[in-house]
Amino acid sequence: MVPNLGFEKWSSLEIVVMVVIAAVFGVIMTYGQFLFDLAYAAGGFWAANLLAGVFHTPGLMAAYMIRKKYTAFTTQMLNSVATVLLGSPTGLNDFMFGFLEGVGFEAGLAIWRYKRYDWLSIGVAAALSAPLSSIWVYVWLSLWTQPFWSWFPAEGLKFLYIQPYVLSIAVGLPKSLEKAGMVLPYQRGV
Amino acid sequence: MTPRRLLFSYEQKNSFLNSIDPISKLFWVVAIFICSLLTSHALPQLFILITIFLIGTFLAKISIKEYGLIVGLMGVFSVSFFIFQSLVIGGPTVLFRIGWLPFSAEGMDIAGTVALRGLTLVTAGRVFVGATNPRDFALALVQRLKVSYVFALMILMVLRYFPLFEEEYRELRDARFVRGIQETKGVRRIFNSMKDYGIPLLSRGLRRAETTSWALDSRAFRAFHQRTYMHEIGISKKGILFVLASAALMIIGLAMNYCI
């Protein structure tokens, strides 16, 4: 019933790293969602999407740190479970967003056959996840009932909006931790 | 930024919904999810929302206060969405005007549907999480839905990390206080907290990851394919009845939708 994600390929350490990232971002994203909702109240899709990048980060950060197939998807799904359990204001929608974003990440990383993990591959993976998450925004908010101009430009440019967050957090933060002396899972060769 | 203020924590209550199995409740939530997405008018959407609210209040014994902050904040989003989209969508039947801004029946119906949908999904999630023991949920995923036990264990580990984060948050906050760092206020505080506490929490969590992985390995984590369980999670008759009764209510909601 559930696709085999091949959990055996991850070491115990990598599994715990995925859990930690999912849990920390679960807390951050729950709060981020409040800001997102307030931004929406203030300025619609344009304002809200300025904060959207943070939701696309955990899976890619885990992928950058672990560098194995399906890491991004699994962490993003785990993170979506965490946000639901923490009480995200978007509730059950987070599962759908997590799933679609995870698929987008994997599609982006698969372009380089999971062999390249840098700002380019992570940026492309984030860019591919943006239109997929917009699909759920389209369904959830019944956007077909609304004028095209009111949502399409903001949703269409989301792939650009999210890049500063994704690149600074998913790539920049692990690099900073590395410089601070932390050994990342991929450096251990496990 | 303390998680517990927001946490939809499970509480062991002597309620009907607590007593039924997690899989039935999962089916219930998924049915609501689908039903809510299929509904295209505000009135049936309101009917579904009220149904869930009543189920939560009477069958899960969730108090108004417990719906609290989360549903309240979704309410802010819903109201702003409703006003904004009512104006954007428009329509020929103008009901009233605020200044020069027209509010039409058609626009309000569509905007109301989506705004109520948000509240419906959040309330359903609140009821589900509040009445479902996470351990039972994870076991049910493994035993009934054949999800990998590694993923189920990862869910349980995520839950285990939240109280640890809360403790570390307190330590960080006290350390910042002792060093005379002033907390900002309002919305900026949430934004700053995500940065000021998120990064230390992450780095400490990652540092601890190795010790945790040793603990997992020393307990023969993933050593055997066959696992035995102390708790077997079945699907109860009460659960099936609950799903059927809820399905009947959802069908009424959908019938209302197509009759309008």
Which tens digit of pLDDT belongs to each residue from B22-33? 999 999 998 898
pLDDT of residue A19: 95
Contacts of A92 in chain B (CB under 8 A): 29, 33, 121-122, 124-125
Domains of chain A, residue spans? 7-183
In this complex, is the C-beta atom of A3 within 8 Å of any C-beta atom belonging to chain B?
no
Q: What is the pLDDT of residue B3?
A: 45
pLDDT of residue B8: 56
Q: Does A190 touch chain B (CB under 8 A)?
A: no
pLDDT of residue A5: 66
Q: Do A28 and B121 touch (CB under 8 A)?
A: no
A47 Cβ under 8 Å from any chain B Cβ: no
Residue B92 has what pLDDT?
Answer: 83
Contact status, residue B136 vs residue B233, Cβ threshold 8 Å: yes
Say how far residue B161 (Cα) sits from the centre of its chain. 18
pLDDT of residue A59: 96
Nearest to B80 among A35, A41, A81 (CB): A41
Which chain A residues contact residue B5 at CB under 8 A?
none
A–B interface: beta-carbon pairs under 8 A: 182
Tell me the C-alpha distance between A126 and B182, whole Å: 35
pLDDT in tens, B206-250: 888 989 999 999 988 888 777 788 888 888 899 999 999 988 888
How many residues can be counted in chain A?
190
A21 vs B: CB within 8 A? yes
Work out the percent of chain B whose per-residue pLDDT is above 70.
95
ipTM, two decimals: 0.88
Across the interface, whether the CB atoms of B73 and A37 are under 8 A apart is answered yes
CB < 8 Å to B40, chain A: 142
β-strands B94-98, B101-104 pairing: antiparallel
Q: Which residues of B touch A1 (CB under 8 A)?
A: 145-146
Give a three-class secondary structure readout of B10-28. Answer: CCCCCCHHHHCCHHHHHHH
Whether chain B has a CB inside 8 Å of the CB on A66: the answer is no
Q: Which residues of B touch A37 (CB under 8 A)?
A: 73-74, 76-77
The answer to whether residue B75 scores a pLDDT higher than 60 is: yes
**Interface contact flag, B122 A91, Cβ < 8 Å:** yes
A78 closest CB neighbour out of B110, B122, B155: B155
Closest Cα in chain A to B83: A41
Which residue of chain B comes nearest to A172, CA vs CA?
B199
- Please tell me the distance from the alpha carbon of residue A114 to that of residue A69, in angstroms, as a whole number: 6
- B172-210 pLDDT, tens digit per residue, is 889 988 988 877 777 677 777 777 888 888 888 888 898
Opening angle at CA A27, ends B5 and A39, nearest 5:
90
CB-CB neighbors (< 8 A) of A27 in chain B: 1, 3, 162, 165, 198, 201
**Tally of CB atoms within 10 A around A159:** 20
Mutation target for A interface from B85, B195, B214: give the one with most A CBs within 10 A: B85
Angstroms from A28 CA to nearest CA on chain B? 6
Q: Min CA distance, A154 vs chain B (Å)?
A: 15
> Token digits for A94?
């987070």
Q: Where are the domains of chain B?
A: 3-139+235-259, 149-218
The confidence score (pLDDT) of residue A106 equals 96
- CA-CA distances (angstroms) from residue B1 to A24, A29, A30, A84, B10? 12, 12, 10, 17, 20
pLDDT at position B43: 92
Q: Specify the pTM.
A: 0.87
Mean pLDDT over each residue of chain B, to the nearest integer = 84
Per-residue pLDDT of chain A (190 residues; tens, 9 = 90+): 445 567 788 999 999 999 999 999 988 887 788 788 778 877 888 888 888 888 999 999 999 999 999 999 999 999 998 888 777 777 778 889 999 999 999 999 999 999 999 999 999 999 999 999 999 999 888 888 888 888 899 899 999 889 998 999 999 999 988 888 887 887 776 5
Using a CB-CB distance cutoff of 8 angstroms, which residues of chain B are in contact with residue A153? none
With left for phi above 0 and alpha for psi between -120 and 50, is residue A114 left, alpha or beta? left
- Mark which residues 118-157 of A lie under 8 Å from B by CB: 139-142, 145-147, 150
Average pLDDT over residues B76-104: 83
Cβ-Cβ contacts under 8 Å for A144 (sequence gap 6 or more): A138
